[in-house]
Chain A
Amino acid sequence: DAKTTQPPSMDCAEGRAANLPCNHSTISGNEYVYWYRQIHSQGPQYIIHGLKNNETNEMASLIITEDRKSSTLILPHATLRDTAVYYCIVRVGGSQGNLIFGKGTKLSVKP
């Protein structure tokens, strides 16, 4: 079973920051948090991952709380093309473990 909890849906205005929350209260000390998104009819696209430090790349920022029980994915300037289902995933089974997806958050970016 997935170890994460996400809201089923969120809206965001185009050009504003989208902040997507995720709870993972049972995460273990060596388990990473991954974020993917899936645009309709495509495969999941990797966004970012982290262990305990905040991470940033060209797509997004990942903020992980100090107790590691929750995290937030930030899309700094959302566009209509960011409309997708966003999955927060805790990788179990060590560094070679597989990703166990939940149901994700459907983000709708509106003009």
Chain B
Amino acid sequence: DAGVTQSPTHLIKTRGQQVTLRCSPKSGHDTVSWYQQALGQGPQFIFQYYEEEERQRGNFPDRFSGHQFPNYSSELNVNALLLGDSALYLCASRPWGVSNSPLHFGNGTRLTVT
């Protein structure tokens, strides 16, 4: 039973470019959340997707957008990259219909903006 998988594992981009990160949720999960983790900090919530719609959003600018596909996989897009966007981007999944179910995390994509 595969857990949450993310691709790519590492990525280097230049300031001003755009990036797309991908996530496949754990089998049986239909809800995907994205987090950003800067070095030495705890993960910060970006947004959550369920039924292909953004359901909740954290305090992130519109440069951060996402998408969820019918197979529950998800993408995180970041436009006009800034040096400060360098971080570990984590995807997490859970089943929507199970109250208080824990989030299961992938191992993240390490994004470096130069």
Q: Is the CB of B42 within 8 A of A103?
A: yes
Chain A residues whose CB sits within 8 angstroms of the CB of B4 once the complex forms: 43
- Contact between A98 and B33, CB atoms less than 8 A apart: yes
Binds A, one of B11-19, B60-68, B70-78, B99-107: B99-107
Given contacts A93-B56, A96-B96, contact A46 B42 (CB under 8 A): no
Chain A binding surface SS class: loop
The interface on chain B, measured as residues whose beta carbon lies within 8 A of the other chain's beta carbons, has a size of 25
**Per a CB cutoff under 8 Å, which of B33, B96, B102, B104 touches A34?**
B102
CB–CB B90/A43 < 8 A: yes
B44 interfacial by beta-carbon distance below 8 Å: yes
Measured between beta carbons, the chain B residues less than 8 angstroms from A32 are: 100
Nearest CB in chain B: distance from A3 CB, A:
13
Given A49-B100, A95-B100, A98-B48, A43-B105 contact (CB < 8 Å): yes
Contact A99 B100, beta carbon cutoff 8 Å: no
Contact present for B105 and A102 (CB under 8 Å): no
Contacts of B42 on A, CB cut-off 8 Å?
2, 87, 101-104
Q: Are the C-beta atoms of A103 and B41 separated by less than 8 Å?
A: yes
A43 and B96 form a contact (CB under 8 A): no
Q: Does the CB pair B56–A42 fall under 8 Å?
A: no
Q: Does B108 contact A (CB under 8 A)?
A: yes
> Cβ of A100 < 8 Å from any Cβ of B?
yes
| A44-B48 contact given A49-B102, A98-B56, CB 8 Å threshold | no
Which chain A residue lies CB-closest to B48?
Answer: A98
Write the chain A residue with the least CB distance to B43: A101
Verify A42–B44 contact, CB threshold 8 A: no
Of the A-B pairs whose beta carbons lie under 8 Å apart in the complex, a sample of 7, sorted by A's number, is A43-B108, A44-B43, A46-B103, A49-B100, A93-B56, A96-B99, A101-B35
| A residues whose Cβ falls under 8 Å from a Cβ of B | 2, 32, 34, 36, 41-46, 49, 87, 91, 93, 95-104
